[in-house]
Structure 1
Amino acid sequence: MVLTADDKSHVKHVWSVVQPHAGDIGADALTRMFAAHRTTKTYFAHFGLNPGSADIKAHGKKVAAAIGEAVAHIDNIAGALDKLSTLHAQKMRVDPVNFPLLSHCFLVSIAAHHPGLLKASTLLSMDKFLGHVGVVLTSKYR
Structure 2
Amino acid sequence: MSLSAAEKAALVCLWGKVAGHADVFGAEALERMFLSFPQTKTYFSHFNLRHGSPDLLKHGGKVLNAIGYAVGHLHDLSSALSDLSDLHAYQLRVDMGNFRLLSHSIQVTMAVHFGSEFTPVAQSAWDKFLSAVSAVLVSKYR
TM-score range, shorter chain: over 0.9
TM-score by length of 2: 0.95
Give the CA deviation at 1:4. Answer: 3.1
What is the CA-CA distance between 1:122 and the residue it aligns to? 1.0
Quote the residue 2:75 is aligned against: 75
Question: So what's the TM-score if we normalise by structure 1?
Answer: 0.95
CA distance in 1, matches of 2:78, 2:113: 28
Higher-helix-fraction structure: 2
Contact 1:85 1:136 in 2 (8 A): yes
Percent of aligned positions that are identical: 46
**Counterparts of residues 54-69 of structure 1 (less than 5 Å):** 54-69=54-69
User: Aligned partners of 1:100, 1:2: CA distance in 2, in Å?
Assistant: 19
Moved over 3 A (4+): none
Q: Give the drift of 1:91.
A: 0.4
Q: Secondary structure at the match of 2:40?
A: helix
What are structure 2's unaligned runs of at least 5 residues? none
TM-superposed deviation, 1:8: 1.8
The number of residues matched between the two structures is: 142
On the 8 A contact 2:19/2:65 being kept in 1, the answer is no
Instruction: Give SS of 2:103's match.
Output: helix
Kindly state the Cα deviation for residue 115 of structure 1 after the two structures are TM-superposed.
Answer: 1.9
> What is the letter of the counterpart of residue 95 of structure 2?
D
Deviations 1:68-125 (A, max 9, x none): 1100111111111110000001101000000010001001111112221211111111
Q: Which residue of 1 aligns with 2:125?
A: 125
